[in-house]
C-alpha cells in the first residue's frame, strides 16, 4: 500500500500540486482508518490530507481516476450485458411515462446504431442511471473506434463518440418529449427552463460516463503511468493566455473573480499596514488611561500613500485579445486601489474605452462591449503599433502626468509598420513609470515581426505575462 501511495503522491507532484512530507505522512496515517475496499472513502481521505486548495481538486481527481483506475474482470474490453437494476429513484416529473422500458441495457453488438441512440434517449428520459452508464459503454465501443497502441489523446475519441451521438439533437428530442408529456401539451417558460436544465445535467452525466469509459480503456491499453502524463492538465493559474482552449478560457474567467477579490483585500492591507506614521498623540493619551496614565502602548497615525493613476494601452487584435481582456478585467476590478484608471484599446486605430467601465456592475460585461463597440480599426485591422501610439500621443499625450503609470499590453508584432518608438520615449518623460506586458514567452521576443526591442529600451521594465500567476504578481507590484 505504501508503494502505491508514494507513487500516487509522486504523480500529484508531477502534476504541479505541492504535497509536503507531513501531508504524505498524514495520508498514510489516514488510510489506516478507512475501509480500503471503499474507493470513494479512499478518495476523500486522500483528498482531505493531500489537496489543500479547491482549484487543485480537478487535477487531483484526474490523477486519482487514472492511478487508481478500475481494474478487474468487469472492466475488461469486451462488452458484458449489465443487469438493469430497475429504477434508480428519480424524482423527475417526467418520470412514469417511460417506466418499464428499462429492459436489458447491454444486449451485445446486435443493436444497430439507431437502436442504440433510441435506447439512450429513453434511458435519459427516464433518468435511469445504470442503463445510461451501460449504454455509454456501448457507445464508446461502437463509435470511438479505439485501436490499441494508437497515440491519440482521449479527447479525440471523446469527440468521435459525441459527434455520432449528437447530444444537441438528443436534448431537443428530450424537450419535445417533456412538452408532449405536459398536461396541456405546453410548458410554461419556467417549466421549460427547468426541464432543460434537468436534461442538460443528465447529458453532462452521460458525457462524464463516456469520458470515464474512454479513460478506462486507455488505461487498459497503455498502462497508468503513460496515461497520467498525457492527461495532465495545467492548473488554472498556469494556463497560457495565448493558447487557451475554450474550456480553459472559461476556467480562467471563473478563476479571475476570486483573484480580484483577493488582490483587492491584499492591496488594501498592504497600504494600511505598510509603514508606521508619526505618533498619534491623542490616541496614545486615550489608551494610556487604562494603564493609570502611563503611555505603555504608543499609537501611530497610519500614513496614506498616494494611489497611483493607471493608464492601460492594450492591443486587442486577435492573437493577444484574450490576454488584453484579462488584464483589463483585472485592473478595472481592483480600480478602487488606484486613484484613476483609464483604458485605451487599439488594433491599428486607437480608442478610449474608460467609459465602458463607468457605472457598470459587471466588469465582464464591459470587457465584452469593448470587443463590439470600440472603434479600433483604421485601415485593415492588422496591428499597427506605430500608428496607434502616435495617435494616442496626439490626442491624449497632454493628459499624462507625473503621477501616471502607463501599461502597454501586447506582443509588439507590428506587421512591419514603422515603430514610432519616440512616442514611448516622450511618454516616459512625462509619466512616472512605463511598463510593457508581453504575453509571449521571452524566447520569442524580437523574432519575426516582433519589434519589442525598439520599444523596450524606452520602458522602465518589460514583463513576460503568460498566465494568471504572472499577471497577479505584476499587479501586486504595481499598486
What residue ranges bind another protein (CB under 8 A)?
Answer: 18, 20, 22-23, 26, 29-30, 33-35, 40-41, 44-45, 47-49, 51-54, 57, 91, 186-190, 192-194, 196-198, 201, 258, 261-262, 265-266, 269, 273, 290-292, 361-362, 364
What are the cell numbers at 404? 501616471
Cβ 73 vs Cβ 86: under 8 Å = no
- Distance of alpha carbon 217 from alpha carbon 308, whole angstroms: 56
> Which of residues 193 and 403 has its CB atom nearest to another protein in the complex?
193
For another protein, which is the closer residue by CB, 185 or 402? 185
| List of residues 6+ apart from 244 with CB closer than 8 A | 252, 322
For the chain, give the number of residues.
479
Q: Catalogue the long-range contacts made by 390-395 (C-beta closer than 8 Å, 24 or more residues apart).
A: 390/420, 390/423, 391/349, 391/350, 392/313, 392/344, 392/346, 392/350, 392/423, 393/423, 393/426, 393/427
Q: Which CB, 267 or 462, lies closer to another protein?
A: 267
CB of 304 to another protein, least distance (A): 18
Burial 256-281 (b: 16+ CB within 10 A, else e): beebbeebbeebeeebeeeeeeeeee
Pair 312, 241: CB distance under 8 Å: no
Nearest to 66 by CA among 247, 235, 234, 223: 223
Q: Which residues contact 132 (CB under 8 A, 6 or more apart)?
A: 120, 123, 124, 202, 205, 206, 209
Nearer to another protein, 23 or 221 (CB): 23
Least distance from another protein to the Cβ atom of residue 30, Å = 5
Q: State the nearest-atom distance from the C-beta of 16 to another protein, in Å.
A: 15
Rounded least distance, CB 320 to another protein, Å = 24
Q: Smallest distance, Å, CB 121 to another protein?
A: 19
Question: Looking at beta carbons only, is 54 or 74 nearer to another protein?
Answer: 54
Least distance between another protein and beta carbon 328 (Å): 18
CB nearer to another protein: pick between 20 and 83: 20
Task: Tally the C-alpha atoms within 13 A of residue 124's C-alpha that lie toward its C-beta.
Answer: 32
Which residue, 57 or 416, has its beta carbon nearer to another protein? 57
What region, left, alpha or beta, does residue 420 occupy, with left being phi > 0 and alpha being psi -120 to 50 degrees? left
Q: How far is the CB of 32 from another protein (least distance, A)?
A: 8
* Minimum distance, C-beta of residue 414 to another protein, in the bound complex (Å): 36
Q: Which three cell numbers stand for residue 308?
A: 497611483
Is residue 439 within 8 A of residue 244, CB to CB? The reply is: no
Specify whether the CB–CB gap between 374 and 399 falls below 8 A.
no
Which is nearer to another protein, 40 or 114 (by Cβ)? 40
Q: What is the rounded CA–CA span in Å between residue 316 and residue 277? A: 43
- Cβ of residue 447: shortest distance to another protein, in angstroms? 36
For another protein, the closer CB: 309 or 472: 472
Amino acid at each position: 500500500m505504501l508503494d502505491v501511495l508514494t507513487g500516487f503522491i509522486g504523480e500529484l507532484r508531477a502534476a504541479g500540486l505541492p504535497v509536503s512530507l507531513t501531508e504524505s505522512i498524514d495520508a498514510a496515517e489516514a488510510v489506516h482508518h478507512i475501509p480500503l475496499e471503499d474507493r470513494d472513502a479512499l478518495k476523500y481521505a486522500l483528498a482531505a490530507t493531500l489537496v489543500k486548495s479547491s482549484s487543485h481538486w480537478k487535477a487531483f481527481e484526474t490523477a486519482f481516476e487514472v492511478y487508481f483506475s478500475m481494474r478487474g474482470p468487469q472492466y475488461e474490453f469486451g462488452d458484458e450485458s449489465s443487469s438493469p437494476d430497475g429504477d434508480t429513484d428519480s424524482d423527475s416529473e417526467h418520470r412514469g411515462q417511460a417506466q418499464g422500458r428499462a429492459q436489458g441495457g447491454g444486449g451485445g453488438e446486435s443493436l444497430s446504431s439507431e437502436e442504440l441512440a433510441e435506447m439512450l434517449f429513453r434511458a435519459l428520459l427516464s433518468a435511469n442511471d445504470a442503463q445510461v452508464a451501460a449504454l455509454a459503454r456501448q457507445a464508446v465501443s461502437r463509435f470511438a473506434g479505439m485501436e490499441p497502441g494508437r497515440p491519440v489523446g482521449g479527447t479525440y475519441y471523446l469527440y468521435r463518440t459525441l459527434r455520432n451521438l449528437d447530444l444537441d439533437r438528443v436534448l431537443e428530442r428530450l424537450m419535445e418529449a417533456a412538452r408532449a408529456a405536459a398536461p396541456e401539451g405546453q410548458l410554461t417558460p419556467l417549466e421549460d427552463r427547468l426541464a432543460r436544465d434537468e436534461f442538460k445535467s443528465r447529458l453532462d452525466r452521460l458525457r462524464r460516463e463516456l469520458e470515464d469509459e474512454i479513460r478506462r480503456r486507455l488505461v487498459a491499453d497503455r498502462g497508468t503511468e503513460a496515461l497520467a502524463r498525457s492527461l495532465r492538465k495545467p492548473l488554472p493559474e498556469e494556463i497560457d493566455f495565448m493558447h487557451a482552449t475554450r474550456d480553459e478560457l472559461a476556467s480562467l474567467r471563473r478563476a479571475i473573480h476570486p483573484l480580484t477579490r483577493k488582490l483587492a483585500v491584499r492591496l488594501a492591507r498592504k497600504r494600511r499596514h505598510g509603514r508606521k506614521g508619526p505618533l498619534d498623540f491623542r490616541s496614545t493619551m486615550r489608551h494610556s488611561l487604562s494603564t493609570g496614565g502611563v503611555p505603555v502602548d504608543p499609537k501611530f497615525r497610519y500614513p496614506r500613500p498616494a494611489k497611483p493613476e493607471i493608464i492601460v494601452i492594450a492591443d486587442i487584435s486577435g492573437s493577444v485579445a484574450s490576454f488584453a481582456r484579462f488584464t483589463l478585467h483585472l485592473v478595472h476590478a481592483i480600480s478602487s486601489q488606484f486613484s484613476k484608471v483609464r483604458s485605451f484599446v487599439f488594433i491599428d486605430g486607437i480608442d478610449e474605452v474608460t467609459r465602458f467601465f463607468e457605472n457598470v456592475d459587471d466588469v465582464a460585461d464591459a470587457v465584452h462591449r469593448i470587443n463590439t463597440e470600440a472603434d479600433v480599426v483604421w485601415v485593415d485591422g492588422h496591428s499597427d503599433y506605430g500608428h496607434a501610439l502616435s495617435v494616442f500621443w496626439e490626442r491624449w499625450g497632454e493628459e499624462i502626468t507625473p503621477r501616471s503609470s502607463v501599461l502597454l499590453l501586447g506582443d509588439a508584432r507590428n506587421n512591419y509598420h514603422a515603430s514610432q518608438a519616440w512616442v514611448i520615449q516622450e511618454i516616459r518623460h512625462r509619466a512616472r513609470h512605463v511598463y510593457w506586458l508581453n504575453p509571449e514567452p521571452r524566447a520569442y521576443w524580437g523574432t519575426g515581426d516582433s519589434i519589442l526591442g525598439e520599444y523596450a529600451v524606452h520602458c522602465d521594465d518589460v514583463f513576460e505575462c503568460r498566465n494568471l500567476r504572472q499577471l497577479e504578481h505584476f499587479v501586486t507590484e504595481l499598486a
